[in-house]
Amino acid sequence: MSRIKVLIVDDSAFMRKVISNILSGSPDIEVLGTAKNGQEAIEKITLLRPDVVTMDIEMPVLNGLQALGFIMSECPTRVIMLTGAESDQGDLTMTAFQYGAVDFIQKPSGNISLDMEKIRDDLIRKITAAARVEVRKLGFIEEKVVKKEKTVYPARTGARKIIIIGSSTGGPRALNHIIPLLPSNLQVPVLIVQHMPAGFTKSLADRLDSQSMLRVREAADGDIIQIGSVFVAPGDFHMIVKQQKIDGEIKEVIGLTKGEKVQGVRPSVDVLLGSAVKIYGQDSIGIILTGMGSDGTCGIRKLKQAGGKVIAEDESTCVVYGMPRSVIEQKLADYILPVHEIARIITEIA
């Protein structure tokens, strides 16, 4: 198998050197070259045709987003965005997904990170996964802001149906095909775990909220789970469902914990599913979308044992066919569907 050819784009000579050294240490990766800004990146991509590009966002001449837009339009290539640690990078990262980025890596200490070795394994793992992505699946995401009167329904008591969605690499793109298509009168709350670090999940929730008839927001500890609402697990917290007595009634609420990472991730789909199934049982609907690894499979097995329904995204639309594959291969899926059909099935079975 030939090595993965990578172009590194960063305006810092120091960062280009550090990233080059990290990637050169992998026997599966060949660093084709580097570029110091978006304009130079476009020229070198056209000339060198790398398999994967790592792209800084903040650069002179032509920044990462501007370069990404041109690249995906004129010379589609798998691009992983490198972002600083500041939380305001969240909106820029969401825009990068909209333009066609495969994934992103958060620099551990801002734009100039002396401690890039901390993310060495994650960087190599994401580049390896990106190299297998079909570029045709990375087209521009059309966004339409929805103007609507959002209805906040009263909190429901007792166990009702619940929808749990888990996703990782390619997840923001998949969620964009699902959440905006759910009807305003959906009588089931939706809880989402998307593998993202702290500071980025709020931007994801805000983007989905602007396009959806349902109310979408980043979850907070103690939020009462209401129909007509979509809750996104905040980065670096496990989200769970628990019951709590409020105003004399037992209600389902969201809990956030800093428990140990599960399969290397926090939030974890398995953690959320495990807690929800204990309360909702056969009224649980689990949905596993595109992503690396197998997070969600253990929780989905518990959901199936309780009598719940399972939807897995079909390989044909997955950016990375990892999490759904694990569920499908273990014969846990009731429905295997391309992403554009999932909202319809949710509406039917919910």
Which residues are annotated as catalytic? Answer: 168, 195, 295
Encoded amino acid at 111, one letter: N
**Angle made by CA atoms 218, 219, 223, in degrees to the nearest 5:** 140
Q: What are the phi and psi torsion angles at 348 (to 5°)?
A: -70, -45
Q: Three-state DSSP class for 230?
A: strand
Using alpha carbons, list the distances in angstroms from residue 235 to 53, 62, 238: 25, 30, 8
User: 99: buried, middle or exposed (CB in 10 Å: 19+, 13-18, 0-12)?
Assistant: buried
CA 336 to chain centre: 19
Residue 244: closest CA among 270, 275, 214: 275
For the chain, first and last CA: distance in Å?
45
Q: How many angstroms separate the CA atoms of 188 and 172, rounded?
A: 21
Q: What are the phi and psi torsion angles at 111 (to 5°)?
A: -60, -40
As a dihedral over the C-alpha atoms of residue 3, residue 320, residue 92, residue 136, rounded to 10 degrees, the angle is 80
**β-bridge mates for residue 240, sequence order:** 255
Residue 349: closest CA among 303, 273, 302, 286: 286
Q: How many angstroms separate the CA atoms of 180 and 216, rounded?
A: 10
Q: How many angstroms separate the CA atoms of 321 and 133, rounded?
A: 9
Residue 63 DSSP class: -
Using alpha carbons, list the distances in angstroms from residue 49 to 52, 234, 237: 9, 37, 39
